[in-house]
Structure formats: C-alpha cells, structure tokens
Amino acid sequence: MAVPTESLDDRRFALLLAVSQYADATLSRLRSPAADAVALRDLLADPEVGGFAVTSVFDEKAQAMRLAVEEFLTDRRPDDLVLVYLSCHGLVDARRRLYFAARDTIKNRLASSGVEAHWLLEQLEDCRARRQVVVLDCCFSGAFAQRAKGDTDVALGERLVGEGRGRVVLTASRGTEYSFEGEPTEGQPPAGSVFTTALVSGITSGEADADNDGHISVDEAYAYAFEKVREAGAQQTPQRWLYGAEGSIVLARTPVDIGETTRTEPVPRRASPEARIEPAPATVPPAGPETRLVPPRWRPWLLGAAAAALIVLAGALGVRLLDGDAGGGPEDGGVSGPHQLTVEAPWRLVVRGQDVADEGCRVTVTDEAGQSQTVEGVYATEYFQMHSSGTVEWEANHADCEVLQQPTANEQRLPFVWRISQGDTPAFSAGDAVTVDVLNFHGTDGCELELHAIEDGRAISFATVPTDGEPTVLETYGASPTYVADTTCSFRITAGR
C-alpha cells in the first residue's frame, strides 16, 4: 500500500534503463533515449529536487539489464520508494508476449535475447518496497513510423497489473498508438521524446505542482505531461494505471517558488548520490597521476602544457575568482564566497583542491536565472564546461579551494588521451562520430560515457562500456564542438568510427 509522503527524507531509489543502439539491423536506432535518460537522471538525482539514489544502465545487453533490475530491487525495505524507467524498443512475439529490447536483442529470438515484461513484473512483485513507480517511454512492437515507436494493442494494463500493492505505471501512449520522439533540428543535439520531455519540463519548471504545496506527486507529473503531449499535437495518449496504491506518492520537490518566473531549461546536473556502474599524441602529454576513484560529475578538464599556460595567463589577467579574505579560514573549513564574475559562454570553471582534505572542494555556481551547477569531491585540479553568460556567483565549501575562470572551451584536436580525476574533456570537433578506447577502468565494472554539446551542455549520445568491451562509437548527430563528460575511467578518443 502506498503511504502518503510529505517529505523526501525517506529512502528513494531509481533505476533508468535506456537503449538507443541495437545490433539487430531490423531494429531502428532511436535518438531520444540518450537525451531522455540523462535529463531524467539529473533531475531525480538532484538532492534539492528528486533526492533519488540513481542507477543508470545505458545501451546494455539483455543479461546485464536483467542483472541490474534484480540487483536494484533486491533487499529493499517496505518503506522504500523505487522507480523503474525504461526507454527502448518494445517487441511482441507470436504468442503476444511483450519484450523490452536490449542492445543485443534479436527480433526473431526474443525469448533468449529480450527482457520479458512478465519477468520484470515478477521482480517487482518480489520487491519488498510498497511504493513502486514504473515509467515506460518505449515502443510496444516492431512497427515504426518516422520519429515514432509503435505497435498493435498489447493490453499493458493486464500485463503489468500483477498482485503488487502501491504500484503506479505510466506509459507514453496507448498500446495501439505511436510514442513519438522529438522533432530533430539541424545542428542541434537530438530532442527527447514528447512524453519524457513533458515530464521533465513539468518538474523542472514547477508547473506540474498543481496545488502549489511545494511537492510534485506522480499524479501531478502525469497530468501535466498528459496535457503537454496533447497540446503538442502528438497522436498519442499517455496512460496511467494504479494498482493498490492509496494516497499520494511524491516524485519531487518543486524546484522554484510558485509565482516566480519559472525555469524553462533542464535542471543543471549534480553528482548522483549513488556511484554509477577508460601512447597519447606527442602534442598532448599524458595527464597527471591517477590516484583517486571518483564518481562521475558534469565537469571539464584541461589538457597539456598549452592548457596550463592558459590558466597561468588567466591568473595574470586577474580572472582569478578566489578572495582569500572571504569566508572562514582553512583551520575551520569556512565557506569561501559568494563571489561574482561576468562571463560569456562557453567558459571553463577550474577548481583546485590540493590543500583540502576530507570531502574535498565543493563549488556551486549560480547564474542570473537562479540555476545552479554544483561540482564536488575535488582534491586535485579539475575542469568544468560551463554554459551560462552574464553575471554568475560562486561559493566554495572551504577557503582553501582555489577557483579560477578560463574564458574559452579550450578546443583540442583529436586524437588525445584523457584520464580519471580531471573532469570533462576540452571541446573538440569530430564530424559525425568519435571512437573511444577505454585504457583503464580503475576497478569499476564499466565506464559510462556521455557526449555533450558545448553550446548548451545537452546530452547527445551515451554508452556504457563493460570491462571486456570493444572500442565504443559515440554519434555526434551533427553537433559541434562537443565534449565527453567526466567518467570513472581513462580513455583515448579519436575522430570517426
């Protein structure tokens, strides 16, 4: 039975499963799962909005997806809230059984290569969490229209009802309708799907908070998305099923005050509360020692002596942001800031935390619209691609955190090597794709790669590379220049496939 939730102080867990690329040539490549999953992940993981511990599984094989689901749902407590999100193809076999398609799914061998919906239902039934939210933004057959995912009716309500208590299931469309992806725009990263984009927009802007109570429930988020999908003219009807749920399940806090100007851009990415499961050219010397395993964050890095020279020059020109007299001293770990800076996108935030122990440096940058981007756990020198213009404020958690501005995106030529603990890569231009070779996994089970547009930071494509994986191709979809977000691996990146 779903217990009404008035705060986000309970244990909240989310599993995001998204597949864009398929080995089976008869399954169309999808654009939207990359943008959808990253946007939703960042929103749910934001401690001031969703407060979820998020596990992301991108472009994985069926066995890895099944293992991720079982591990995610095992050992949950009755009072936990669990959310499972899927964005992929959906396929129906000759006996009308529904399967979710993984990277290695073979269309005419679904029983052995797909993830069966009934199996997912059984895992949810076995999970002890009494509050469960399932969001399906995927097709439910192998029939596709342009920019769409669709099927014949597969009776989703009957397939997902089960015997569980407190389960809410949201789908992007009816079983007989298409689930449309966003219209692509030339020179821009791929748009998200109509349904997930509406969900994210309603929470990000606060407009989904219909009763203005500071919380957005699952029902409110669904109602907002339903209206936005219909207003967009998409020929799809989002659906909701409620099984044994009583009361309201709170999905997120309202991120802005109702009545104030609402935000229209996605919430800036923050570090997820749960860790996520890669011979350099002579012109780009190898990076420094690889001594620390860090969680992925959205932040850039600086390559080589040329980049270092830019930092020195920036300091000489007086763009150093740190004011040693502000905040408490290093002996008491006092906060440094806030400080102001006038910037023009794209620019790079440089944080040096060599003299800071314990949790390392945490720096928050807030733009004129009130949107904040936080980076944390910085113990060395790390670099962060920034996309705001105008007057920004920054604040650090410790007076010994050194904060600098580099007034460029530091575009580099490919190929180059990038290593752990340095943040996002510099910007680069690479045609229609780049190839990434993981050099060192640093003890992790896989390396999660994300390609972003330097213009606005939007996610373009992603891949999860297992330890036994081959070189991975990331599509640029015409966006240029781009960068690879911070990872828990070291890698070499080259242009082309």
Mean pLDDT of 128-139: 87
Bridging pattern class, strands 446-453 and 482-484 = antiparallel
Under the banding of pLDDT at 50, 70 and 90, the label for residue 436 is: very high
**CA distances from residue 103 to 75, 260, 476 in whole angstroms, order as listed:** 27, 43, 19
Note whether 485 and 476 are within 8 A (CB): no
**Which two structure tokens, joined as six digits, stand for 224?**
């907002």
Axis-axis angle for helices 32-45, 194-205 (nearest 10): 20
Q: How many C-beta atoms surround the C-beta of residue 143 within 10 A?
A: 13
Confidence band for 182, pLDDT divided at 50, 70 and 90? very low
Number of other CB atoms surrounding residue 429 within 10 Å: 16
Give the pLDDT confidence score for residue 8 in this predicted structure: 61
pTM of the model: 0.54
Whether the predicted pLDDT of 275 surpasses 50: no
Give the pLDDT score at 145: 26
| Highest mean pLDDT pick, 87-101, 249-263, 419-433 | 419-433
Q: Confidence class of residue 266 from pLDDT cuts 50, 70 and 90?
A: very low
> Which residue has better confidence, 32 or 145?
32
- Per-residue burial over 26-64, b if 16 or more Cβ lie within 10 Å, else e, is ebeebbbbbbbbbbbbbbbbbeebbbbbbbbbbbbbbeb
In this prediction, residue 74 carries a pLDDT of 94
Q: What is the pLDDT of residue 68?
A: 93
pLDDT > 70 in the chain, percent:
70
- Cα–Cα dist 425/21, whole Å: 24
Torsion of CA 456, 460, 464, 468, to 10 degrees: -120
Q: What span, in angstroms and rounded, lies between the C-alpha atoms of 7 and 160?
A: 28
Residue in 477, 459, 484 with CA at minimum distance from that of residue 192:
459
pLDDT of 310 strictly over 70: no
* Confidence band for 247, pLDDT divided at 50, 70 and 90: low
- Asked if 102 contacts 88 with a C-beta cutoff of 8 angstroms, the reply is yes
pLDDT tier for residue 66 given thresholds of 50, 70 and 90: very high
Contact 418, 493 (CB under 8 A): yes
- As a whole number, mean pLDDT of residues 328-347 equals 65
More confident site: 192 or 258: 192
Confidence of residue 317 (pLDDT cuts 50, 70, 90): very low
How many CB atoms lie under 10 A from the CB of residue 325? 8
Does residue 274 have a pLDDT over 70?
A: no
The pLDDT of residue 158 is above 80: no
Q: Is the pLDDT of residue 316 over 50?
A: no
pLDDT bracket for residue 319 (50, 70, 90):
very low
Which residues share a beta bridge with 92?
98
- In Å, how far are 93, 177, 357 from 296, measured between CA atoms? 38, 37, 19
Return the SS3 of 474. strand
Q: Among the listed ranges 232-236, 254-258, 284-288, 342-346, which one has the minimum average pLDDT value?
A: 284-288
The yes-or-no verdict on residue 122 having pLDDT over 60 is yes
pLDDT of 265: 38
pLDDT of residue 133: 94
Q: Answer whether residue 302 shows pLDDT above 50.
A: no
Q: What is the DSSP string of 209-241?
A: -TT-SSEEEHHHHHHHHHHHHHHTT-S---EEE
pLDDT at 220 over 90: yes
Among 61-75, 150-164, 268-282, the minimum mean pLDDT is found in 268-282
> Which amino acid type is present at position 151?
D
Distance CA 477, CA 191 (A): 11
* Nearest Cα to Cα of residue 321 among 423, 417, 402: 402
The DSSP secondary structure of 378-432, one letter per residue, reads E-SEEEEEE---EEEEEEESSTT-EEEEESS----PSPEEE-TTSBBPPPB--TT
The backbone torsions φ and ψ at residue 230, rounded to the nearest 5 degrees and listed phi first, read -70, -40
Q: How confident is the model at residue 481 (pLDDT cuts 50, 70, 90)?
A: very high
CA distance 226 to 172: 9
pLDDT band at 85 (very low <50, low <70, confident <90, very high): very high
Rg (CA), the chain: 22
Look at residue 326 in the predicted model and tell me its pLDDT.
Answer: 35
Please tell me whether residue 314 adopts helix, strand or coil conformation: helix
In this prediction, residue 419 carries a pLDDT of 87
* pLDDT given at position 273: 32
Res 207: pLDDT: 93
pLDDT for 235: 59
Checking if the pLDDT of 303 tops 60, the result is no
Handedness of CA 65, 67, 70, 72 (dihedral sign): negative
CA–CA dist 475, 184 (Å, integer):
14
pLDDT of residue 173: 63
The whole-number average pLDDT for the span 271-281 is: 30
d(CA 91, CA 103): 13
* pLDDT average, residue stretch 67-82: 94
Decide: 62 and 104 in contact? Cβ < 8 Å. yes
At residue 253, the pLDDT reads: 92
Among residues 248, 250, 222, 249, which one has the least CA distance to residue 237? 222
- pLDDT for 287 equals 36
Q: How many residues does the chain have?
A: 497
Selected residue with higher pLDDT from 334 and 212? 212
Lowest mean pLDDT among 117-121, 162-166, 460-464, 471-475: 162-166
Buried b (16+ CB within 10 A) or exposed e, 181-192: bbeeeeeebbbb
